[in-house]
Amino acid sequence: MQITKKTENKCFAGSQAVYQHNSIVTRCEMAFSVYIPQIAWTHKRPAIIYLSGLTCTHENVTTKAGFQRYAQELGLIIVCPDTSPRGTNFPEEHDSYDFGSGAGFYLNATQKPWSANYRMYDYISKELPDIISHNFPVVTPHFGLMGHSMGGHGALTIGLRNPDIFPSVSAFSPIVAPSQCPWGQKAFTGYLGDDHNEWQRYDATELMKNGCKSPSKILIDQGTSDEFLEEQLKPDLFLKACREKGQDIELRMQEGYDHSYYFISSFIGDHLLFHEDNLAAQ
């Protein structure tokens, strides 16, 4: 598949670029950023895909998280895709921050009109890894997968369902039980309808209860001052399911941190080191 470089900047001796391509899966033009550490131009390196949260594009984490310094030091390729299809302009698509544009929820929609384009699960689990594998100096077939908030939900659900592709998973402030919170219930009803069996396929807590596990320890960082902690995120539900199923997990409750990129930038280095260790063991 042809990709087009839109921008490129030297950063910590590596390269931070943005690419566009016409997606077969989402049937529209998609953008993603890629950081390439200097060593990757002579030696293939592991790649980590970062999934962003509600309202974000590829740009937010690329400019705010400060991952480039750590990626250069560890020799990691970092890929940051968008959070939804763009340019479809369905009725009400842009009316709210938690549904439609910028809120694809990393699932394959079954309800019209969303089912034609909102197929972010297939985009992240199939199309994007294939594009990265064929266009960049990555060690394949394994990728690390991480994300924040809605993107943390995506990292957990996609990772649990595809452990052969994503054997290393971590998250910041993830929506771990979307079937049980307002954000998830709104998105699932709109994209998937009323079939709760379909909802379970995109709910990390339900997937864990049903036997989906990661081959490596799962790392989650959650701020104790996160304004969405009690109503939307509910990390204890996922922790309980993991313990019941014997999934190795580390949930770190970080005192005083909120839901912002100040929180992410404080611990992004830990997550990249976590993924480097896991991927080196594959």
Please say whether the beta carbons of 255 and 205 come within 8 A.
no
Catalytic site residue from 153, 203, 226, 275: 226
Contact yes or no for 51/147 (Cβ under 8 A): yes
Report CA torsion sign: 236, 263, 273, 161: positive
- Cα separation, 170 vs 243, in Å, equals 17
Q: Given the residues 148, 153, 259, 271, select the one marked as catalytic.
A: 259
DSSP string, 52-109: --TT--HHHHHHHS-HHHHHHHHT-EEEEE-SS--S---TTTTSBTTBBTTB-TTSB-
The answer to whether the beta carbons of residues 79 and 62 sit under 8 Å apart is no
Give the C-alpha separation, 70 to 265, whole Å: 11
User: How far apart (Å, rounded) are the C-alpha atoms in residues 177 and 203?
Assistant: 6
- Annotation says 259 is catalytic: yes
Residue 122 annotated among the catalytic residues of the structure: no
Which entry of 23, 84, 101, 149 is annotated as an active-site residue?
A: 149
For residue 6 the two structure tokens come to 């839109």
Q: Which residues pair with 7 in a beta bridge?
A: 18
Q: Verify whether residue 43 is a known catalytic residue.
A: no
Helices (H), the chain: 58-64, 67-74, 120-122, 128-135, 150-161, 182-192, 196-200, 204-209, 235-245, 261-280
Give the active site residues: 149, 226, 259
